[in-house]
């Protein structure tokens, strides 16, 4: 048997060498034979055994009455093996193959009963990389795994993900450029008592790039994405959504001049989208940067956008130029001009403006003095053919209970629709979020017990008032002085005026001229090698026509270097905002503590605590969090444990969450 195997191996080697000598381009020409040529060689094995235990609890109350009580425990045992090998030679065919299995025991308890489940899951991993060092490398991959994700501290969703596809390239000397192609398919499925995951994403792309010489390069690409989603929170209706997107991109870069002092670069994008939201969009943005001398620089930018989303058509033109001049080591001068013509369904706004700034910086006794003055003038011609214009697809991130302002002013509150990114679910105002209007600004605030995760990106559609047709001017002045002493102390004083004046027309909304006075100071001082302290404060008096306000901010911290490579930081802050024409004020107190230490070799211990409370608005906002984590490496054994407690409250609604996760991993 040994003789037969040896003869087979020699025959295979001779056959491959014969093919290589007949077709050297496709096989071994130029290879380094440091690795052994063989029919099959196993080069490495990685494996691990991991045990995980999770306990989650969530309790919701409203006016002191419990409305939700859920508790979940999960035990998992996972074993996985990944092998590395090659066929004939590592540069010919390299293989990464692996498999694993996971046993899961789940228990979920609510006020209505307990649900216990057991499951056995398997995972697979495979990648074949063929001719990696040749001008036509190709690789194929397949992965099936079973991760869990946490839309909330007490919400665990077990998933099954399957991804497969390929990557292929053509390089010199086969073709005179670099060409990359890829295709993949990803399917995510999973569920929990509160969440369901059902997503499919197929992608295909091709990219080409060419470096002609040191001064010229270009690139072009095409991406196709097909997305299907039926994911969401089971507390709300889920509507399956689909989206197909085609994106073509082109870009180039040129360097001109004997010293390459001129740089031109551009990017063009064409996007076509089908689904709940249809979109056809062209965007072109050329740029020119010119270094005239060591002291003088200029830049020129243009952006063209032509977009149609459902029934909303938008065409924007923006051109601006800037000139920067370093007069001497103390004085810098900047000036610029801008022209804009922005059209969207129901509104057309044309603007022209100029601006300039001079900055002065010089050393003084034990410090540095900085002064700056800036002026900007813009004339605006607004033509409104409708009382409202619409925005589709503004994306914001909601974290904790902190309100986030939307981009436009004078938003029609009743028009706001908040959805998840896949648009398979619509969130409910008053349960998942609330709307806060202060003057011209509109904010979205996530609520306690919300179906919106923490944090989570959401997409928002809304309408805003156009303000009627008018011609008006903006004249802005900005003055600032700063002083730094002994490298530790900083002081500043700023004053800004923005005058808005109507020259013609009949606007339906008032203009909003502003005068802003601000001043503050900060200090950070190392008392010795072990202790550092710092504090800063800001005061703002913001006068405007619509919603003036006063604000003050104070913060302080102490940082200590302790034995056992330990570090402790304690901080506190107070923010007060008094909106003169609104009851939605801010009176926010926050305290935090962060401790990190290495009490033992290869052990990291950390503890974090944070508390914030805002009593300034119409709805009390309060949030407490505490996190304790330990990570310890003992040879090939890794222990990772973390415990998190959080309690958040908006008004009479309160949510408490407790999360504990223990992971033991043994590399084999």
Cβ-in-10-Å burial (0-12, 13-18, 19+) of 532 comes to middle
Q: Domain of residue 5: give its range.
A: 1-30
d(CA 14, CA 22): 12
Q: Are 314 and 305 in contact (CB under 8 A)?
A: yes
Instruction: Identify whether 511 is part of a domain.
Output: no
**What is the radius of gyration, based on Cα positions, of the chain?**
31
424-461 residues labelled b (16+ CB within 10 A) or e (exposed) = bbebeeeebbbbbebbbbbbbbbbbbbbbbbebebbbb
Instruction: Identify whether 194 is part of a domain.
Output: no
* Cα–chain center distance at 147: 21
Confidence class for position 159, pLDDT limits 50, 70, 90: confident
Average pLDDT over residues 455-466: 94
Instruction: Identify whether 424 is part of a domain.
Output: yes
pLDDT at 116: 87
DSSP result, 311-361: TEEEEEEEEEEEEEEE-SSSEEEEEEEEEEEEEETTEEEEEEEEEEEEEEE
* Cα–chain center distance at 211: 31
pLDDT per residue over 317-330, tens digit each?
A: 999 999 999 999 99
Strand partners, 300: 288, 321
pLDDT at 235: 87
pLDDT per residue over 6-64, tens digit each?
A: 444 444 444 444 444 333 333 333 334 455 788 899 999 999 999 999 998 989 999 98
The last residue of one of the domains, among 415, 448, 465, is 465
Instruction: Identify whether 128 is part of a domain.
Output: no
pLDDT at 150: 63
Q: For residue 292, is it left (φ>0), alpha (ψ between -120 and 50) or beta?
A: alpha
Count how many domains the chain has. 2
Q: Which of 494, 498, 587, 651 is nearest to 63 (CA)?
A: 651
d(CA 627, CA 593): 10
d(CA 140, CA 133): 16
Instruction: Identify whether 17 is part of a domain.
Output: yes
The answer, yes or no, to whether the previous bond of 506 is cis (omega within 30 of 0) is no
pLDDT at 21: 39
Check residues 76 and 147 and name the one with the higher pLDDT.
Answer: 76
- Kind and range of the H or E run holding 7: helix 2-22
Q: Is the pLDDT of residue 294 over 70?
A: yes
Instruction: Identify whether 289 is part of a domain.
Output: no
d(CA 456, CA 53): 25
pLDDT at 151: 58
The last residue of one of the domains, among 412, 433, 465, is 465
Q: Are 419 and 426 in contact (CB under 8 A)?
A: yes
pLDDT at 36: 73
The last residue of one of the domains, among 419, 442, 465, is 465
Average pLDDT over residues 385-391: 94
Instruction: Identify whether 454 is part of a domain.
Output: yes
d(CA 388, CA 370): 44
Q: List C-alpha distances in Å: 59 to 62, 67, 72, 416, 646.
A: 10, 8, 12, 29, 11
Average pLDDT over residues 85-108: 93
Structure token pair of residue 615: 């009593």
Confidence class for position 72, pLDDT limits 50, 70, 90: confident
Q: Is the pLDDT of residue 82 over 80?
A: yes
- Triad 234, 240, 245: Cα angle to 5°: 135
pLDDT per residue over 397-410, tens digit each?
A: 999 899 999 999 99
pLDDT at 117: 86
Query: Of 57-61, 97-101, 589-593, 609-613, where does mean pLDDT reach its minimum?
Result: 57-61
d(CA 593, CA 570): 5
**Percent of all residues in the chain with a pLDDT value above 70, rounded to a whole number:** 94
The 3-class SS string of 530-593 reads: CEEEEEEEEEEEEEECCCCEEEEEEEEEEEEEECCCEEEEEEEEEEEEEECCCCCCEEEEEEEE
d(CA 71, CA 289): 60
Instruction: Identify whether 190 is part of a domain.
Output: no
Query: Of 111-115, 539-543, 646-650, where does mean pLDDT reach its minimum?
Result: 111-115
């Amino acid at each position: 048997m040994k003789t037969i195997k040896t003869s087979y191996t020699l025959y295979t080697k001779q056959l491959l060498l014969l093919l290589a000598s007949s077709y050297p381009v496709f096989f071994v020409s130029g290879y380094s034979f440091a690795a052994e040529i063989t029919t099959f060689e196993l080069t490495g094995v990685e494996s691990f055994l991991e045990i995980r235990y999770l306990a989650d609890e969530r309790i919701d109350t409203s006016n002191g009455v419990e409305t939700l009580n859920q508790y979940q425990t999960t035990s998992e045992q996972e074993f996985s093996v990944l092998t590395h090998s090659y066929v004939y030679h590592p540069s010919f065919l390299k293989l990464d193959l692996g498999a694993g299995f996971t046993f899961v025991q789940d228990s979920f308890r609510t006020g209505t009963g307990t649900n216990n489940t057991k499951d056995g899951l398997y995972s697979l991993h495979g990648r074949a990389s063929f001719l990696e060092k040749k001008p036509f490398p190709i690789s194929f991959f397949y992965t099936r795994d079973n991760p869990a994700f946490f839309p909330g501290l007490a919400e665990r969703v077990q998933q099954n993900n399957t991804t497969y596809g390929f990557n292929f390239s053509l390089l010199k000397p086969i073709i005179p450029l670099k060409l990359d192609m890829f295709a993949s398919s990803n399917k995510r499925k999973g569920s929990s008592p509160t969440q369901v995951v059902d997503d499919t994403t197929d992608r295909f792309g091709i990219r080409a790039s060419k470096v002609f010489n040191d001064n010229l390069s270009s690139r072009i690409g095409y991406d196709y994405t097909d997305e299907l989603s039926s994911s969401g929170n089971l507390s709300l209706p889920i509507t399956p959504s689909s989206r197909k997107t085609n994106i073509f991109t082109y870009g180039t870069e040129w360097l001109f001049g004997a010293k390459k002092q001129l740089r031109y670069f551009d990017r063009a994008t064409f996007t076509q989208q089908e689904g709940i939201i249809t979109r056809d969009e062209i965007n072109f943005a050329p740029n020119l940067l010119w270094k005239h001398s060591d002291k003088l620089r200029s830049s020129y930018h243009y952006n063209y956008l032509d977009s149609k989303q459902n029934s909303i058509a938008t065409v924007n033109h923006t051109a601006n130029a800037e000139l920067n001049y370093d007069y001497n080591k103390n004085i810098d001068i900047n000036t610029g001009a801008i022209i804009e013509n922005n059209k969207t369904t129901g509104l057309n706004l044309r603007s022209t403006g100029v601006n300039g700034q001079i900055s002065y910086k010089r050393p003084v006794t034990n410090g540095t003095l900085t002064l700056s003055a800036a002026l900007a003038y813009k004339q605006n011609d607004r033509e409104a053919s409708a009382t409202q214009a619409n925005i589709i697809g503004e994306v914001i991130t909601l974290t904790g209970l902190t309100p986030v302002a939307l981009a436009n002013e004078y938003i029609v509150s009743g028009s706001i629709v908040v959805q998840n990114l896949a648009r398979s679910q619509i969130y409910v105002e008053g349960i998942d979020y609330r709307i806060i209007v202060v003057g011209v600004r509109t904010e979205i605030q996530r609520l306690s017990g919300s179906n919106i995760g923490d944090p989570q990106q959401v997409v928002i559609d809304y309408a805003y008032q156009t303000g009627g047709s008018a011609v008006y001017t903006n004249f802005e002045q900005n003055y600032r002085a700063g002083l730094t002493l002994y490298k530790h102390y900083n002081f500043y004083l700023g004053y800004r005026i923005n005058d808005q004046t109507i020259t013609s027309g009949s606007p339906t909304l008032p203009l909003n001229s502003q005068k802003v006075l601000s001043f503050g100071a900060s200090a950070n001082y190392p008392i010795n090698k072990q202790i550092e302290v710092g504090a800063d404060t800001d005061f703002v008096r913001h006068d405007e026509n619509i919603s003036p306000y006063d604000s003050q901010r104070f913060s302080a911290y102490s940082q200590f270097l302790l034995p056992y490579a330990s570090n402790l930081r304690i901080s506190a802050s107070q923010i007060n905002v008094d909106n003169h024409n609104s009851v939605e004020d801010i009176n926010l107190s926050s305290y935090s503590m962060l401790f990190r230490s290495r009490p033992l070799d290869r052990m990291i211990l950390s503890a974090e605590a944070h508390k914030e409370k805002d009593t300034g608005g119409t709805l009390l906002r309060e949030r407490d969090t505490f996190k304790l984590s330990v990570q310890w490496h003992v040879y090939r054994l890794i222990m990772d444990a973390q415990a998190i407690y959080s309690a958040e409250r908006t008004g009479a609604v309160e949510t408490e969450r407790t999360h504990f996760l223990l992971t033991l991993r043994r590399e084999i």
